Amino acid sequence: MSAPRVVLVDDHGLFRSGVRAELGRKVEVVGEADDVQPAIDLIAELLPDVVLLDVHLPGGGGQAVVQAIKTTHPQVRFLALSASDAPEDVIAVIRAGARGYVTKTISTAELADAVRRVAAGDAVFSHRLAGFVLDAFAAAPGDAKPPVDPELDQLTSREREVLRLIAQGYTYKEIARELYISVKTVESHVSSVLRKLQLSTRHQLTRWAAERRLD
Amino acid sequence: MAAGVAAWRGFSVTTVRIVFVLIALVSGGWFVPVYVAGWLFIPAAGEQASIGSKARSDARGIRLAIGLTSLLILVLLAVSALNGGWFVGWAWPQVFSMAGLVLIWRNAPQDEQATLRRLLEPIETAADSSSRGKWSALRLVLAGALLVGGVGWLFSAHKSLALLRPLGGVVLVIAAIVLVLGPWWLRIARDLVLERQAKVRAEERVDIAARVHDSVLQTLALIQRRADDPQKVIQLARLQERELRSWLFEGRDPNETEADLTLTGGVRQIQQDVEARYGVPVEAVTVGDCELDDNLNALLAAAREATVNAAKWSGADVISLFAEVEPGEVSLVVRDRGKGFDPEAVPADRKGLAESVYGRMTRRGGTATVTTAPGEGTKVMLKMARNMTASRA
């Protein structure tokens, strides 16, 4: 597979040039944008494989970019990057359709790997996002109400297992070895969690995000 | 001018001012135009030209002064014809004061103009009906009518000696004054509010600046000095990042101690302490949260020991700390990708793992599982059942 074509969207020029310099040899950075509208125009024009998208942009959240592009160019994939760990921001951009989320402190090798994985259609969860998701799908004590759609509203025990290991900093390869499954199976578990995260109307998810709203 | 005289003769300004007021009273008001003339013709300290010398070239100002003077003379003549009494005697000199003030107003330096303008503001706003439109004009007309009515009532009341009438007249005069000056007072009140808001904002900015200085700038300075030690730089950057984040996003003061710590708080503290003491980044993730009891404190103590061990011996460049609160139990995993060790080969006198981790857990009915091998990293899994009566429902 040739190097994925990437567009960087981040309002910090310093961060963009840093990422471009680091990723330069591993992926092909074809464009940069610093705000919602320029990003939408640029992505529609360049049609990259992956958009590295900052969750926080001055002209609205990163999810605005995802939503705008998803309707017109569903083949473009998004990997959310954020310096903040505010769960509601992350969940919002994932639910808008991003294929993954990593923190800005990620190492270059891991970031390049995450970009390749997203370009291939897989999902990428940082250890922190895995923690968020486990938290969001946890059965709240005293919550007697049955889930509306068990298929979408609950995680299987295997999926929880995989998320726990991601949260502990395991790589996909290490998870595969730990659980005696193939890397491909790990990837499909994560993709399935991502799908649930995006499609579930589970009320806890909304409530969970709302409870962790920043004051 | 009082200040000038004070400086010249060596008296205090206040004394000179009191003397001036006394002179003005004794002289029947004639000292006031003299003072104004002094203001007009004596140059201010540190300036070459007096206001008067500038005023000479101000043809419009002179015309205005002459016009005002003749108008005032006419009014005073009319009033004295109606037998104005002592008021007229006092008012004559002020005609000249007015003329002088007009010239000063038009030619004085900026700061003196500002003083005059503040004094004249209510009259100005009242007179400035043309630019304020119909409402202002209406207000003036109404005020005028009330004033005339009130004054007329007062005078007529003197003749008929009715008791209630003068009161009505006073009310009308007050109403007129309120109508004329009301907007000005309102504006002052509004300015006060705005000023207070600006002050609050300024204080906030100072607070933020102090915070940024105390933490961020200090850390940046440290980082510059330690630029040759990447490990130290990373450690400093992470410490600063966490502190700033907790202040910005969670509204917590990094220096304040958490009185009743929850599990998440406890994990965070382990993370901070280990990073600060050993300079190894700790990635902490917690799922759910609950209050602490003795059992969970023991769990945290064991986790701290395991994390410190990993930081000291494993050589890993990052340690993962994962805590999950489930309805029935709390589990905590400390994991590194470091050298690992052979559990069988640990000398018997090295009590760290056996006593601090394993012993602590089993004494309270918990479990500790260590998975490790040389070159394979280490994983310590701790589980403790929750004491449901003590926990948060």
A167/B287 CB distance under 8 A: yes
> Cβ distance A48 to A7 under 8 Å?
yes
Cα–Cα distances in Å, from A103 out to A54, A81, A107, A128, B65?
10, 6, 10, 8, 75
Residue bearing the bigger pLDDT, A102 or B133: A102
B251/A215 CB distance under 8 A: yes
| Under-70 pLDDT residues of chain B | 1-11, 26, 28-29, 43-50, 52, 55, 79-91, 108-136, 150-169, 214, 250-260, 346-352, 388-393
Distance from CA of B351 to the nearest CA of A (A): 26
- The single-letter DSSP state of residue B291 is B
Query: Cα-Cα-Cα-Cα dihedral of B28, B34, B36, B40, to 10°?
Result: 170
Chain A, nearest residue to B290 by Cα: A141
Strand ranges (E), A5-150: 5-9, 28-33, 50-54, 56-57, 60-61, 77-82, 100-103, 124-125
pLDDT, mean of residues A122-129: 85
Give the closest of B287, B335, B337 to A134, CB-based. Answer: B287
- pLDDT reported for residue A195: 86
- pLDDT reported for residue B57: 72
Residue bearing the bigger pLDDT, B160 or A86: A86
Give the closest of B249, B324, B393 to A141, CB-based. Answer: B393
A130/B288 CB distance under 8 A: no
A164/B324 CB distance under 8 A: yes
Residue bearing the bigger pLDDT, B5 or A44: A44
Is 70 exceeded by the pLDDT of residue A64?
yes
d(CA A31, CA A21): 13
Tokens of B245: 């984040």
Give the closest of A127, A135, A141 to B320, CB-based. Answer: A127
pLDDT tens, position by position, A132-169 = 888 877 754 444 455 556 667 778 889 999 999 998 88
Quote the mean pLDDT of chain A: 81
Cα–Cα distances in Å, from B83 out to A210, B79, B151, B157, B307?
81, 6, 16, 18, 101
CB < 8 Å to B333, chain A: 164, 168
d(CA B375, CA B269): 29
Q: Which residue has the tokens 């200085």?
A: B213
- pLDDT reported for residue B331: 92
d(CA B351, CA B346): 9
Q: Is the pTM of this model over 0.90?
A: no
A134/B318 CB distance under 8 A: no
d(CA B156, CA B153): 5
CB < 8 Å to B326, chain A: 138
DSSP H or E segment with residue B372: strand B367-372
Give the closest of B245, B251, B285 to A128, CB-based. Answer: B285
Residue bearing the bigger pLDDT, B388 or A69: A69
Distance from CA of B293 to the nearest CA of A (A): 19
DSSP three-state, residue B367: strand
CA A124 to chain centre: 6
d(CA B277, CA B287): 25
Distance from CA of B209 to the nearest CA of A (A): 21
DSSP-derived pairing of the beta strands B329-336 and B319-325: antiparallel
Question: In what order do the strands lie in the sheet containing B282-287?
Answer: B282-287, B319-325, B329-336, B378-385, B367-372
What are all long-range contacts of A152-160, with beta carbons under 8 Å and residues at least 24 apart?
A: A152/A196, A152/A199, A152/A200, A152/A201, A152/A202, A153/A196, A153/A200, A153/A201, A153/A202, A155/A193, A155/A196, A158/A189, A159/A189, A159/A192, A159/A193, A160/A134
How many residue pairs from chains A and B have C-beta atoms closer than 8 A? 49
Cα–Cα distances in Å, from B199 out to B203, B209, B213, B374?
6, 15, 21, 63
pLDDT tens, position by position, A180-209 = 999 899 989 998 888 888 887 665 566 655
Give the closest of B251, B318, B326 to A169, CB-based. Answer: B318
Q: Residue A140, Cβ neighbours under 10 Å: how many?
A: 12
- Listed ranges A22-26, A73-77, B108-112, B125-129; the one with the highest mean pLDDT: A73-77
Maximum separation of any 2 CA atoms in chain A, in Å: 53
* Mutual angle of helices A62-72 and A87-96, in 10-degree steps: 10
Q: Which residue has the tokens 């009743």?
A: B260
- pLDDT reported for residue B321: 92
Residue B324 has φ and ψ, to the nearest 5°, of -130, 130
d(CA A81, CA A124): 11
Q: Which of A90, A102, A103, A105 to mutate to test the interface with B (most CBs of B within 10 A)?
A: A105
CA B95 to chain centre: 47
Cα–Cα distances in Å, from B319 out to A24, A122, B286, B311?
29, 26, 14, 7
Phi-psi region at A60: left, alpha or beta (left = phi > 0; alpha = psi -120 to 50): left
Tally of CA atoms within 13 A in the half-sphere of A28 that contains its CB: 10
Q: What residues in chain B have their Cβ under 8 A from chain A's Cβ atoms?
A: 245, 249-251, 283, 285-288, 318, 320, 322, 324, 326-327, 333, 335, 337, 379, 393
Residue bearing the bigger pLDDT, B9 or A34: A34
Give the closest of B283, B324, B333 to A134, CB-based. Answer: B324
CB < 8 Å to B288, chain A: 135, 138
Cα–Cα distances in Å, from B187 out to B125, B174, B195?
11, 19, 12
d(CA B365, CA B272): 28
pLDDT, mean of residues A4-33: 86
> Cβ distance A53 to A79 under 8 Å?
yes
d(CA A14, CA B13): 60
DSSP string, A62-82: HHHHHHHHHHH-TT-EEEEEE
Residue B43 has φ and ψ, to the nearest 5°, of -65, 145
Q: How many helices (H) and strands (E) does chain A have?
A: 11, 8
- pLDDT reported for residue A213: 47
Tokens of B144: 């005028």
